[in-house]
Structure 1
Amino acid sequence: MSKHPNAQAHQVAGGAHHRPLNREDYKTLSLSALGGTLEFYDFVVFVFFANVIGALFFPADLPDWMRQLQTLGIFAAGYLARPLGGIIIAHYGDKIGRKKMFTLSIFLMAVPTLVIGLLPTYETLGIVAPLLLLLMRVLQGAAIGGEMPGAWVFVAEHSPARNYGLAIGTLTSGITGGIFLGSIFGVWLNSTYTQAEIHDWAWRMPFIVGGVLGLVSVYLRRFLHETPLFKDLQKRKAADVELPIKTILREHKQACWLVALMTWVLSTAVVVVVLMTPSYLQKVFHIAPADAMTANAVATVTLTLGCVFWGWLNDKIGTRWTMVLGWGGMAVTAYLFYLGLPGQDTLVARYALVGFFVGSISLLPIVGVRAFPVAVRFTGLSFAYNMAYAVFGGLTPMLVSVWQQVDVMAPAHYVAAMGVLGAAIGLFWPMASRGWQPKVQHG
């Protein structure tokens, strides 16, 4: 006898049926990926215009370093709000349905993004301006904390088992595509308008466009259907047992640790290879900003393609060897990339190669979704992922920056170590590596 009525629900994507992806699946996948792209774009576009925002939303007489620190603090507030927002949204996702929360999370992102684009600056509002900006970032952080786990669970529970990895990999590629969209908008704006025009009004465009497209995405998500597994759960009234987080902390600690460690690998790959490396290339190896950003944009494209490839490979050869090849390959190509610097003639090709292996981050949701039973799945994945991301996503830049002072190859060592950790999890942790599912039990 199981401990709670939802023990039956350790099912993966759409149950055990082996049908191919159909038209309805493609609609679900495309609408989910589009929303994820826009939501991630809305969250990261702040980074690309942080300097302008700092100049406009803080007093002009502040020292430059102080202004930069406060701007980065407002950016960091978005990360700190992730766990709380993610857990609250996931709680209701497990109680009243995936679809409602999936739509709410993009609404919670779109509105603050639009508000940032329309917000009066310090010159007009004084101290109220940065406080409103901070509030909008907190709402954005709460939204993204619910969006990613929600999207992974939603798509996984709609997908046929034979295309489970491919569906989650494709969705993850859509989310990473949001970073690319943000950088492209930044490049276009900087090459179309003068710095004075950007400072005066053009910086608002990416926020207004992102907010409007986000609201369009809210409307489109009305056409999605609740997942079959959650409907089944509601019929059996298994969703009304107790607070999902209590069940998670009592009965699913191993799954939480698994997702947390894999999040460490994922956050390192994204933060170090994608977000930190462009400035590292410029500061340490004196590579021109335009060359660094071009190489980074190409790597973001191969990362996006890699997410799909590693998801597809998971369906073909299983999770264990996909983790060994994907994350083991990330360790090797990290050294190939960083040890070959500056090497400008091969910079783009080597950055693209490591980017492709970073695409194996799609293995985290592939493993993470099926590690929890349906009744507490959204909460379990959201809690473990967001808590770990808040810790590792926050500490990694500081750790690498300090380490870099004594060893210029610090990024290579850190990324490679995480690649080895990911491969080891695949080889030695049965819950991760064998498409693990407990025997079906009925409560």
Structure 2
Amino acid sequence: MPRLAAASLAGTAIEFYDFFVYGSAAALVFGRIFFPDFSPLAGTLAAFGTFAVGFISRPLGSMLFGHLGDRRGRKPVLVASLLLTGAATVAVGCVPTYDRIGIAAPVLLTVLRFLQGLGLGGEWGGAVLLTAEHAPARRRGLWSSFPQVGPAVGFLLANGVLLALSAGLSDESFRTWGWRVPFWAAGVLALAGLLLRAGLTETPQFRALAERGERASAPLAEVARDHWRLVLLTAGGLASGYAVFYTVTTWSLSYGTDELGVDRTVMLGCIMAAVAVKGAVTPLVAHLADRVGRRALCLAGCTATALWTFPLIALVRTAEPLPMFLGFLGALLGFVLVFAVIGAYLPELYEPRVRCTGAAVGYNLAGVLGGALTPIVATSLSRGDRPPWGVACYLTALALCSLGCFALLPETGGRPGAAPASGSTTGEPAREPGEETAGETVPKPGGETAGEAAEKATT
């Protein structure tokens, strides 16, 4: 399990590095170099528009790669998605600016961002299932949280490189060529990720499905027919977490530097410190979920988010490093209560034959609802000198909607008395043969439980 968890963490870190470096570059420089004829506000909105395209393509990627994962296995998804995202990110670093090729520059940027999102849409499902389907049932939350640490590591890598370049180069040099360096570095990281994943084995649950001839022939159609309610509820539940994360990491970076006049290295430093703490506590929260349940922590996270949005805006408005850091940290701790447990919770809600498609589509559809539009909406609501309380109202409304969605989902494990039932069109979580739940074990053909089989296979 440690080797599998490390490979999953490394892969998601690399893929999210590619995704996040674009978001930070969009906030800092893309408006000026790809939309120079626009006003500063309109240029930022246009840059965030290309940023949103990556979220729109993520559900499409989850459908494409989810089909591959449910038909051919989880491992091919990990390789194909990493190659696609890495190649698209390197290409972004090579796109000429508007001054060189005119309107073709933002068009190329948008196409490459679409491909980035397509690859990332496949990455999450493959990486999470690699750990979730190998992990013993009683520690599935803990092991499945390591791919969820990957986004924090990717964010720190991306912004660490940008911070170093921003601090070491003049504004002119950074806008001319410095911003391209993190995109070119993605090629080296992608090759490293492929080497890490080369020796991985297929998950025991998928192998068992293949041996019994029970793989879904049309996973997406089956999910749309039998699990559409689960997809919508999970997407709605996760939407506010996406909104909070990109408010902190993307909108606040633009708002702080453009509207408040805070130096970009100070803003990046505050955000990175908060994200580092978030990444460090993710496994601890996931371990807690193995004891108290997944749904309980998701409800707590949405409640905390709804209560913290107005303090977040007030602290950002101070333009002082320590208050801004505390505002970001409070918001991300609410976020992590939800996203630390999702690596176990979403797969447990779907039956194994359509799990790669269902879990990934729900996860990435939430990105469209909460992540794609948030920087655009927040920028529109924070125009002028007035405090951006509209941003707080927007985040609060999303948090309450997510709270309602999680309230309608069932518990899947970790809490005494929780007894997930099999399969379901009604939103009941799936249950595999041999999975231990609420002190009982469903017999598995051959006599051993799924947890025992997973431990034996990984040994």
State which of 321, 325, 330 in structure 2 corresponds to 1:348: 325
Work out whether 1:175 is the aligned partner of 2:151.
yes
- In structure 2, the partner of 1:252 is 227
Work out whether 1:323 is the aligned partner of 2:310.
no
Aligned residues of 1:370 and 1:437 also touching (Cα < 8 A): no
5+ residue gaps, structure 1, are 1-24
- In structure 1, the partner of 2:277 is 302
- In structure 2, the partner of 1:145 is 121
Amino acid at match of 2:324: L
- Give the alignment's Cα RMSD to 1 decimal: 3.0
Q: How does 1:32-431 map to 2 (within 5 A)?
A: 32-50=8-26, 52-53=29-30, 68=44, 70-121=46-97, 129-239=105-215, 241-281=216-256, 287-340=262-315, 342-343=317-318, 344=320, 346-360=323-337, 361-403=339-381, 408-426=388-406, 429-431=409-411
Q: Distance in 2 between matches of 1:245 and 1:219?
A: 30
Q: Distance in 2 between matches of 1:408 and 1:35?
A: 36
Moved more, 176-185 or 61-70: 61-70
Aligned residues of 2:45 and 2:379 also touching (Cα < 8 A): no
Moved more, 225-234 or 342-351: 342-351
Q: Distance in 2 between matches of 1:335 and 1:126?
A: 41
Q: Distance in 2 between matches of 1:369 and 1:332?
A: 29
Q: Distance in 1 between matches of 2:196 and 2:237?
A: 32
Q: Distance in 2 between matches of 1:269 and 1:98?
A: 30
**Greater RCO (Cα-Cα under 8 Å, separation 6 or more):** 1
5+ residue gaps, structure 2, are 423-430, 434-459
Moved more, 263-272 or 416-425: 416-425
Summarize deviations over 1:288-330 as a string: whole Å, max 9, x none.
5444332212221122223223212101222243234333333
Moved more, 42-51 or 62-71: 62-71
Scaled by the length of structure 1, what TM-score is found?
Answer: 0.83
- Compute the displacement of 1:96 (Å): 0.6
Amino acid at match of 1:150: G
Partner SS for 2:354: helix
Summarize deviations over 1:408-441 as a string: whole Å, max 9, x none.
3233334344444545555553256866632468
The count of corresponding residues between Structure 1 and Structure 2 is 416
Moved more, 352-361 or 393-402: 393-402
Aligned residues of 1:403 and 1:410 also touching (Cα < 8 A): yes
Summarize deviations over 1:94-140 as a string: whole Å, max 9, x none.
10111001111001011122223344555666665544433322211
Summarize deviations over 1:73-110 as a string: whole Å, max 9, x none.
43333222222222111111110111001111001011
Summarize deviations over 1:143-202 as a string: whole Å, max 9, x none.
011112222222211222122111222221112321222111111001112233334433
Q: Distance in 2 between matches of 1:306 and 1:425?
A: 25
Amino acid at match of 1:134: T
From the two aligned structures, give the one with the greater helix fraction: 1
Q: Distance in 1 between matches of 2:299 and 2:350?
A: 23
- Compute the displacement of 1:28 (Å): 1.0
Q: Distance in 2 between matches of 1:222 and 1:393?
A: 32
- Compute the displacement of 1:269 (Å): 2.0
- Compute the displacement of 1:46 (Å): 1.9
Aligned residues of 2:205 and 2:352 also touching (Cα < 8 A): yes
Amino acid at match of 1:35: G
Amino-acid identity (%): 27
Provide closer, same or farther for how the CA distance between residues 200 and 330 of structure 1 changes in structure 2, counting only shifts above 3 A. Answer: closer
